[in-house]
Amino acid sequence: MPEKNDHYYMQLAIQEALKAQQIGEVPIGAVLVCQDEVVATSFNLRETLQTTASHAEMLVIDKGNDHFNSWRLEHCTLYVTLEPCQMCAGAIVQARLKRVVFGAFDQKAGCAGSLMNLLEDERFNHQVEVRSGVEEAICGQLLSDFFRSLRQKKKALKEKNRDEQSQPAE
């Protein structure tokens, strides 16, 4: 059995991200671990559920709350393939998570070091230990490939529509 370390659990989060990708969601996955036991897994479902808070982190925190029958997740580590945004970082602090381990940085919305670091901000009553860049290349490539494919589909649709409009009517 492979050693259960940050890379092992991030691989599980990557598997969750691939589930999101299979249904057309942005490929972001999350895994909640407590004392070397996976207690919850989830992936991004924002498009599927059409709810703002359906980020992988938010969903896995909710599952963790259900598992422990508590809003406190103070002995848990959250593994997520993309740096948490401000909403998720806030929920992570509120849930009192011990650690967050993420893969790819998010230069446009990341709040665990890129734009700001809400998780380790000492002005809050709780700080979360952060480890960044675990399996970063794989996590980043998943996202890059997804968005490249999305842009190509939009471009092809635009070209098809343009071609149909330029054809003479019969």
CATH number for the domain spanning 131: value is 3.40.140.10
pLDDT for position 166: 76
Asked if residue 168 belongs to a domain, the reply is no
Q: Is 85 annotated as a binding residue?
A: yes
Tell me whether residue 147 is in a domain. yes
Domain count, the chain: 1
State yes or no: is 3 an active-site residue: no
The answer to the question of residue 169 being in a domain is: no
Measured CA to CA, the distance from residue 85 to residue 91 in angstroms comes to: 10
Q: Is residue 149 part of a domain?
A: yes
- Is 170 a domain residue? no
The DSSP bridge partners found for residue 32 are 40, 78
What is the C-alpha to C-alpha distance for residues 14 and 9, in angstroms, rounded to an integer?
A: 9
- Residue-range definition of the domain harbouring residue 26: 2-163
Q: Is 7 annotated as a binding residue?
A: no
> Binding residue per annotation — 76?
no
154 versus 27: which is more confidently predicted?
27
Instruction: Report yes or no on 34 lying in a domain.
Output: yes
Task: pLDDT band for 27, please (50, 70, 90 cuts).
Answer: very high
Is 58 a member of any domain?
Answer: yes
Is residue 104 domain-resident? Answer: yes
* Predicted confidence (pLDDT) per residue in 97-143, tens digit: 999 999 999 999 999 999 999 999 999 999 999 999 999 999 999 99
Q: Which residues make Cβ contacts (< 8 Å) with residue 91, sequence separation at least 6?
A: 57, 58, 61
Select which of 25, 57, 83, 135 is catalytic. Answer: 57
Spell out the residues 6+ positions from residue 83 whose beta carbon is closer than 8 angstroms to its own.
102, 104, 105, 106, 109, 110, 111, 112, 113, 114, 132
